[in-house]
C-alpha cells in the first residue's frame, strides 16, 4: 500500500496512526466481542468512549467548565439553522460578518427565522480580505454576532478574535478548530464539522456557554433543542458512533503529539513554506488573498497560465500529491494543510511546484 499526500479540503486526510488503530480495532473493539460500530451507544463501553472524547477535547482546547460540549450529526450547515432556532426570538436581529462562501451559506440557513443583518461584507473585493473591524455596523439589539473563522474556499482566515461586546459571539470553526490556542471564553458558541481538523465526516462539535441554553428561542421540535442534547449527553437520538470514536482517537493523537500549541507551530511552518514558494515564483503561481488574512489551513493558488492546470494536476497525482483541484467557485488549485497533513507532505508539494515551474516556466 502506498498512501498519497491528500490535500483535500474535506473530508480531509486523517493521521495514519489513527487509521491503523481503527483498522486494528475494527472487527472487535476492546474485548467487547463486536466492533465499535455494532455495540449500543447506551452501553457502558461506548459511554466510556464518549466521555473520554469529551474530556480529551476539553483538555486539548482548554474548554471551561461553564461550556457544554456536544457531538452531533448533521454537519455545520445544520448548526447554522439551529443556532437561530435556539438563541433568537422569531424575527429578532442577528448580525453576520461575511468573508466568503460559507459566511453566505450561514445567512441562507437563518433567513426564515431571524432578521439576518450583514454588518460587514468582503464580497465587493472578491473575498480577498477581511473587512476592518472599525467598519462593522453592529446592531444594538442583535441576538448574537456570527462569523466564519476560516473560509475553506476563499482561503481567508481571521487572525485573532474580533471584539464584539454588543452580543454573544458565535463562530464557525469547521476548518480551523484546534489549529492554534483559542480563548473559548470569548465566545458564546463555537461549532465545527469534524471532517477537516478533528476527525471524519459525520460528526459535528458544538461548544456552547451554558447560560445561553436558557434562552427560549423559537418554536421547534425537541430534537432541534441544544439544551435537550446537553441533558441527553449528545445521545438524544442514536449518534454517529463510529465517527465519534474516530474523532476521539484524533484527540488522543493530538494530545500525544504535543497538543494545540505544537500544532500551531507546525501549521505556521507548513503555510509559510507554501506561501513562500508561491510568492517567490515571479508570478508563475499567485495567491490573491491579502497577506494579513491568508489562511493557514486552505491555500488557494493559480497558475499564470490556466491551460497548464490539467497538466499540473495530472503530474501532481503521479507524484503522490492528490486533491489539489480548486473549488468550482474559484477554479485554480487549493492545498488544504490541516493538522493531520505532515510537514513532509507540504515539503513534497513545494518541491513539485518548483520543479513544475522549471519545466513549464
Give residue 1's pLDDT.
56
Average pLDDT over residues 219-241: 96
pLDDT tens digits, residue range 79-119? 999 999 999 999 899 999 999 999 999 999 999 999 999 99
CB 5 within 8 Å of CB 320? yes
Average pLDDT over residues 307-314: 97
Q: Is 70 exceeded by the pLDDT of residue 221? A: yes
CB 270 within 8 Å of CB 337? yes
Look at residues 245, 251, 290 and name the one whose alpha carbon lies nearest to residue 132: 290
**Residue 39 pLDDT level (bands cut at 50, 70, 90):** confident
Give residue 154's pLDDT.
96
CB 312 within 8 Å of CB 303? yes
Residue keyed to cell 474548554: 63
Give residue 31's pLDDT.
86
Rounded distance between C-alpha atoms, residue 354 and residue 316, angstroms: 12
183 is catalytic: no
Element (H, E) at 143: none
**Residue 32 pLDDT level (bands cut at 50, 70, 90):** confident
What would the 3-class secondary structure string for 211-269 be? HHHHCCCCCCCHHHCHHHHHHCCCCCCCCCHHHHHHHHHHHHHHHHHCHHHHHHHHHHH
Q: What percent of the chain has pLDDT over 90?
A: 93
Give residue 119's pLDDT.
97
- Residues 6+ positions from 197 with CB-CB distance below 8 Å: 12, 175, 176, 177, 178, 179, 297, 338, 339, 340
Average pLDDT over residues 32-37: 89
222 is catalytic: no
Element (H, E) at 272: helix 259-279
Instruction: Name residue 291's beta-bridge partners.
Output: none
Pick the catalytic residue from 29, 129, 196, 270.
Answer: 196
Pick the catalytic residue from 29, 56, 95, 102.
Answer: 102
Rounded distance between C-alpha atoms, residue 200 and residue 127, angstroms: 28
29 is catalytic: no
C-alpha cell of residue 326: 480548486
Average pLDDT over residues 210-229: 97
Look at residues 337, 355, 342 and name the one whose alpha carbon lies nearest to residue 275: 337
Rounded distance between C-alpha atoms, residue 233 and residue 236, angstroms: 7
Residue keyed to cell 502506498: 2
What is the b/e burial string over 23-47, where b = at least 16 CB atoms within 10 angstroms of the residue's CB? eeeeeebeeeeeebeebebeeeebe
**Residue 306 pLDDT level (bands cut at 50, 70, 90):** very high
Q: Is 80 exceeded by the pLDDT of residue 321? A: yes
Q: Is 70 exceeded by the pLDDT of residue 189? A: yes
Give residue 233's pLDDT.
95
Question: Which residue segments constitute the domains of the chain, with CATH numbers given?
Answer: 17-256 (3.40.640.10), 258-360 (3.90.1150.10)
Pick the catalytic residue from 56, 95, 129, 172.
Answer: 172
For 150, phi then psi, to 5°, come to -145, 125
Judge residue 224's burial from the number of C-beta atoms within 10 Å of its C-beta, 0-12 exposed, 13-18 middle, 19 or more buried: middle
- Residues 6+ positions from 264 with CB-CB distance below 8 Å: 179, 180, 181
CB 352 within 8 Å of CB 311? no
Q: Is 90 exceeded by the pLDDT of residue 165? A: no
Average pLDDT over residues 43-49: 91
Q: Is 90 exceeded by the pLDDT of residue 215? A: yes
Amino acid at each position: 500500500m502506498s498512501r498519497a499526500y491528500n490535500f483535500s479540503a474535506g473530508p480531509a486526510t486523517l493521521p495514519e496512526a489513527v487509521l491503523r488503530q481503527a483498522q486494528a480495532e475494527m472487527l472487535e473493539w476492546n474485548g467487547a466481542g463486536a466492533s465499535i460500530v455494532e455495540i449500543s451507544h447506551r452501553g457502558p463501553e461506548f459511554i466510556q468512549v464518549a466521555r473520554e472524547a469529551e474530556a480529551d477535547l476539553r483538555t486539548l482546547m482548554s474548554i471551561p467548565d461553564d461550556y457544554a460540549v456536544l457531538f452531533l450529526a448533521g454537519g455545520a450547515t445544520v448548526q447554522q439553522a439551529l443556532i437561530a432556532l435556539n438563541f433568537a426570538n422569531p424575527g429578532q436581529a442577528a448580525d453576520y460578518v461575511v468573508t466568503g462562501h460559507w459566511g453566505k451559506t450561514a445567512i441562507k440557513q437563518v433567513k426564515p427565522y431571524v432578521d439576518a443583518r450583514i454588518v460587514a461584507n468582503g464580497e465587493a473585493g472578491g473575498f480577498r480580505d477581511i473587512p476592518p473591524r472599525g467598519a462593522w455596523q453592529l446592531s444594538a439589539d442583535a441576538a448574537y454576532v456570527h462569523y466564519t473563522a476560516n473560509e475553506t474556499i476563499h482561503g481567508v482566515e481571521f487572525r485573532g478574535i474580533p471584539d464584539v461586546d454588543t452580543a454573544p459571539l458565535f463562530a464557525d470553526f469547521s476548518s480551523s478548530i484546534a489549529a492554534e490556542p483559542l480563548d473559548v471564553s470569548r465566545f458564546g458558541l463555537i461549532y465545527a464539522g469534524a471532517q477537516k481538523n478533528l476527525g471524519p465526516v459525520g460528526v459535528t462539535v458544538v461548544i456552547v456557554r451554558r447560560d445561553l441554553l436558557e434562552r427560549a428561542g423559537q418554536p421547534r421540535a425537541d430534537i432541534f433543542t441544544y439544551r435537550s442534547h446537553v441533558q441527553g449527553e449528545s445521545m438524544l437520538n442514536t449518534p454517529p458512533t463510529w465517527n465519534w470514536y474516530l474523532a476521539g482517537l484524533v484527540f488522543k493523537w493530538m494530545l500525544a503529539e504535543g497538543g494545540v500549541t505544537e500544532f500551531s507551530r507546525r501549521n505556521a511552518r507548513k503555510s509559510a513554506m507554501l506561501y513562500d514558494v508561491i510568492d517567490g515564483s515571479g508570478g508563475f503561481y499567485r495567491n490573491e488573498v491579502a497577506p494579513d488574512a491568508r489562511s493557514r489551513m486552505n491555500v488557494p493558488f493559480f497558475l499564470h497560465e490556466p491551460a497548464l492546470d490539467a497538466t499540473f494536476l495530472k503530474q501532481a497525482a503521479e507524484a503522490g500529491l492528490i486533491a489539489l483541484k480548486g473549488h468550482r467557485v474559484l477554479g485554480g488549485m487549493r492545498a488544504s494543510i490541516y493538522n493531520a497533513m505532515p510537514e513532509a507532505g507540504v515539503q513534497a508539494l513545494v518541491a513539485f511546484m518548483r520543479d513544475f515551474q522549471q519545466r513549464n516556466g
